[in-house]
Amino acid sequence: MSKYSLLINGELVPGASTMHVINPATEEVLADCPRSSEEQLNEAVQAAKEAFPSWSQTKIKDRKEIVSKIADIVEANAQELAQILTEEQGKPIGDATGEVYGMAAFCRYFASLDLPVKVIEDSDGRKVEAHHAPLGVVGAIVPWNFPLILLAFKLPPALIAGNTIVIKPAPTTPLSTLRVAELIRDVAPPGVINVITDLNDLGAALTAHPDVRKISFTGSTATGAKVMAGAAGLLKRITLELGGNDAGIVLNDVDPKEAAPKLFNSAFQNTGQVCIAMKRLYVHEDIYDEMCEELASLANETVIGNGLEQGTKLGPLNNKMQFDKVKELIEEAKSDGNVIAGGEVPDQPGYFIRPTIVRDIEEGSRLVDEEQFGPVLPVMKFSDENDAVERANATQWGLGGSVWSSDLGRAYALAEKMEAGTIWINKHSELDPTIPFGGSNQSGLGKELGAEGLEEFTQLKIINMAKA
């Protein structure tokens, strides 16, 4: 087994204890990972605090160069990082490789941005400027479904804005982050980048730490509410990218054979473990039967297995807790609807579930009402477009949604009525570092990506100067 270390104040250090990281494809121990104590968390925050004054005064040009170097290092070690990612997360090696290169690309995008001073007024009497000032120490809490790409939502903009950072990866997928930390330990000054780990027992301490000025959190809505409550006492900044129950609406002018592969991939990418995966599908009654048949055929043809094996399309779920939850939802759905593909768990090690299509199911079923975060798609029938939109909007979440039609005007009119942070037309779950991303309702607060995502790591400072 490879040896992993925490990164605190520029030093690679062992944890106060260790914890097992499990390969979800085999259920075997992949590595003994360092586990931080609260004392080590405090040391990491203190290191970040002490590094902040100097780092915040470093020219943005130099900070951007460091982020670009991080991109270069990640890319140069893509093969190794992808293998670690597949082994700890479960996704196919091709998808893991894409995620590693995606992290590098996101770093380079943020390194292309600036935080220019805006002159609000320059008159005879005064000059007023708006500056984007850094916040201080940022706490970054990263989930297990996309450990590296979601790290790239947080690390590069935090650094470019002039903040220092303490990163806490998920306990089931800490290894790729720790390896990145080891590779980049000498790129930035000591204390600027710190990585600690836990068994989900240090999140509250990080969130409530008096020296942490912002929390950037990606994860479940329930945990996001706890983060918000923990940050409230000190009125610290938060960005929350939380759960979703994205709906897709397919109109009757769509060719099922042509659209089905796109819909399937939108729902089942990363074994359905995507916050913006399509999790509910509404199909017009005119094409409902044919669409269900096409989706079922695709599900039955899909190769599942160890992500390191050639030909694997879908890997396992990442952890036993999620595995058990999805199994439970499928069992309930068998009585609530008609399972036309999948629904079974292969008799083999690993947290595998066949991609599952459930038709003739309605709202009120847990599979429809909850975020399943797994390889299961409920497909529902509608006859009236406005009714479909009302049903799609009848949820506590509002992360993403999509409308599918050969008539773009018709699709656009429905998209305007859907309530979510991002509405796609004739596609779903597309992310681009240049486009702001965030949810509405209980899917989150704030924006990530784009220039707006960079500005989230700053505070607006106004300089108002009188002219004699």
Residue positions annotated with a catalytic role? 241, 275
Task: Report the distance separating Cα 443 and Cα 420, nearest Å.
Answer: 9
> Which residue is associated with the tokens 């659209």?
259
Q: Which CA distances in Å does 178 have to 4, 82, 114, 197, 320?
A: 7, 13, 29, 9, 22
